[in-house]
């Protein structure tokens, strides 16, 4: 009995010391165990990923700002940006129709939070619906009450507020466009975003470099908008996406190891007359449980594959579902990796800082 009592005492002391020495109150580092977001350091949050680790651990929730870390003096196409796929399709987004929404989501944060956490590309599906332009999933090629999320103006006003408050930031909108003539022009005018519009006339036509980020900021041309409708470039001044970028296959077809085919609307991935490269990496049917693994090592592997497919060019945009879900660094680390490769040929953008002693550099 005495031995059992001693065992209990030793166990209790051990548990007490373990709990006492566990991190908390904003002291927990990347992949430390945690019980709430407040336990984690700035830039991390407490998350459970059963496919990657047991329990809850601190994982990344924000980008490294490559412009503040280094500079913004290079062309726009010399940097990489997190892009949220179906950025509008948000868990718990308020209902704007008289029937319950019966469709899937792709993100968990409102647009403002996505932008605050570092997303700089937003993929949006725009439809004519209910006499206005709406963000919507389609059913049978149409927007319905049960697949609609909300009027586009509400989302665009969030973007305008962010650009107004963050005068050195640039946002790219990639629109899957099902809106009739002049509908987008009207809603962009009504939102107040036209004052930030980057004009088609300044976009490179044959694979040349884009303007310097610093010049785009100085000129307040901080909103790039691409449409999937070719005719709108001439009629409304909205850039036709595939005149300027190549894009790999979206959905399951873009997640096959060792393969990076172009989507049918895009020219070949190695077409260097297009100076921007977009890599999609998300399932055809969105999956929260799968995304923490998809947004981790598998994503980095696909970036390597698409580098070769794109004629030895690193991606500028990486589009993912549930962008904050990961096994640790996730899509944020993937962008650090891309910016490292783009800016100094290393595996992490932090290595590009003059005087860095990081071991994350390998020859390009």
Q: What is the pLDDT of residue 359?
A: 62
Q: What is the pLDDT of residue 180?
A: 97
DSSP string over 103-167? S---BSS-HHHHHHTT--EEEEEEEEETTEEEEEEEETTEEEEEEEEEEHHHHHHHHHHHHHH-T
CATH superfamily, domain 64-352, is Phosphatidylinositol (PI) phosphodiesterase (3.20.20.190)
Please identify every stretch of the chain with a pLDDT value under 50, giving residue numbers as ranges: 1-21, 363-364
Q: Bridge partners of 57?
A: 33, 47
Q: What is the pLDDT of residue 9?
A: 38
Structure tokens at 358: 């990081």
Q: What is the pLDDT of residue 357?
A: 72
| Per-residue pLDDT tens digits for 260-287 | 999 999 999 999 999 999 999 999 999 9
Q: What is the pLDDT of residue 5?
A: 40
> Whole-angstrom Cα distance, residue 102 to residue 72?
43
Residue 306 near residue 256 (C-beta atoms within 8 A): no
What are the extents of the domains in the chain? Answer: 1-61, 64-352
Q: What is the pLDDT of residue 62?
A: 97
Q: What is the pLDDT of residue 356?
A: 77
Structure tokens at 215: 């010049």
> Whole-angstrom Cα distance, residue 280 to residue 299?
9
Residue 260 near residue 279 (C-beta atoms within 8 A): yes
pTM: 0.92
């Amino acid at each position: 009995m005495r031995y059992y009592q001693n065992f209990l005492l030793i166990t209790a002391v051990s548990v007490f010391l373990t709990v006492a020495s566990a991190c908390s109150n904003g002291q927990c580092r990347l992949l430390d165990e945690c019980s709430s977001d407040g336990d984690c350091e700035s830039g991390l949050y407490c998350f459970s990923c059963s496919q990657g680790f047991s329990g809850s651990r601190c994982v990344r929730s924000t980008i490294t700002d490559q412009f503040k870390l280094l500079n913004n003096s290079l062309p726009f196409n010399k940097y990489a940006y997190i892009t949220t796929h179906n950025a509008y399709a948000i868990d718990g987004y308020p209902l704007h129709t008289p029937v319950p929404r019966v469709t899937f989501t792709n993100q968990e944060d409102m647009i403002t939070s996505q932008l605050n956490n570092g997303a700089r590309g937003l993929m949006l599906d725009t439809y004519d619906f209910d006499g206005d332009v709406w963000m919507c999933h389609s059913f049978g090629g149409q927007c319905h009450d049960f697949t609609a999320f909300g009027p586009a103006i509400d989302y665009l006003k969030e973007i305008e507020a962010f650009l107004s408050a963050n005068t050195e930031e640039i946002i790219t909108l990639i629109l899957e466009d099902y809106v009739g003539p002049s509908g987008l022009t009207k809603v962009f005018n009504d939102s107040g975003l036209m004052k930030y519009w980057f004009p088609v006339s300044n976009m490179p036509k044959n694979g040349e470099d884009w303007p310097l980020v610093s010049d785009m900021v100085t000129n307040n041309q901080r909103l790039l908008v691409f449409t999937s409708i070719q005719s709108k470039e001439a009629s409304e001044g909205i850039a036709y996406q595939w005149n300027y970028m190549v894009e790999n296959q979206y959905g399951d077809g873009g997640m096959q190891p060792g393969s990076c085919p172009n989507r049918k609307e895009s020219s070949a991935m190695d077409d260097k007359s297009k100076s921007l490269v977009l890599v999609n990496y998300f399932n055809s049917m969105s999956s929260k449980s799968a995304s923490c693994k998809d947004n981790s090592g598998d994503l980095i592997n696909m970036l390597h594959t698409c580098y070769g497919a794109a004629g030895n060019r690193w991606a500028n945009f990486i589009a993912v579902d549930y962008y904050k879900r990961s096994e640790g660094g996730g899509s944020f680390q993937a962008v650090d990796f891309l910016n490292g490769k783009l800016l100094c040929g290393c595996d992490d953008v932090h290595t590009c800082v003059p005087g860095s002693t990081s071991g994350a550099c390998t020859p390009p």
